[in-house]
Amino acid sequence: MEMIWNWNTVGSCFLAKSWYIRTEGMMVASSIGVALLAVTLELCRRACKEYDASIVAQMERSVTAATLTNPSLLPPSSRSSPTVRILSLRVSPLQQAIRSLMYAITFSVAYIVMLLVMSFNGYIIVAIFVGAGLGKFLTDWMVVKVAVSQNGGEGTEKPTGIESVTICCT
C-alpha cells in the first residue's frame, strides 16, 4: 500500500493481502464495490434515524393512549396560561441494545471506508465520493413541514422545519 496519492490500478492492495489487484477488471470491480460500501454506510445511517423515529412514534402513541384512559395524567387546564406537562421516557433495554448494535455496524462500515481512503488511491477515493453522494440521494430525501392556515397566512402552529429525530448515527 502506498502512502502517497496515486492512480495505480494493477498492483494495488487494499486492507488485506487477499485484496490485491491483478487486473484492471479487478480494479473496476473494487471501485464499484467501494462505491456500494459508501452507499451502505448511508443506508446504515438512515436505518438508525428511522429506528429512532419509530421509537419516538411508539412512545407518543403510548402516552396518548395512557392520557385517554387516565385523564389525571393531563396537566390542569387554565384559561390564562395553558399548562404543559413534560414526560421523560427511556427506551427499553432491548431497544437500546438494538440502537447500540446499529451504531456499532454503522461505525464499523465508516471505519472501513476511512481505511480505504488511507490507501490514497484516486480511483478508490472517487468511488467513495460517488457512493456517498448516491447514498445520500437515495436515503436522505429532505422533508420540510410548513404550517399554512385557510386564509393563506401563517397557521397557529409554528412550522417544525427540517426534522431530525436524533443525533444517533449522523
pLDDT given for residue 71 in this prediction: 75
pLDDT tens for the chain, 170 residues long, are: 678 999 999 999 999 999 999 999 999 999 999 999 999 999 999 999 999 999 999 999 998 888 888 877 777 664 555 677 788 899 999 999 999 999 999 999 999 999 999 999 999 999 999 999 999 999 998 888 888 877 655 555 555 555 555 444 44
Please name which of 15, 4, 6 lies closest in space to residue 115, comparing C-alpha atoms. 15
This prediction has a pTM of 0.79
- Which cell numbers hold the place of 57? 412514534
pLDDT given for residue 170 in this prediction: 47
pLDDT given for residue 81 in this prediction: 56
- Which cell numbers hold the place of 121? 488511491
- Which cell numbers hold the place of 134? 448516491
User: How many CB atoms are located within 10 Å of the residue 34 CB?
Assistant: 25
Contact of 131 with 123, CB cutoff 8 Å = no
pLDDT given for residue 141 in this prediction: 87
pLDDT given for residue 153 in this prediction: 56
pLDDT given for residue 158 in this prediction: 55
Q: Which residues contact 8 (CB under 8 A, 6 or more apart)?
A: 2, 121
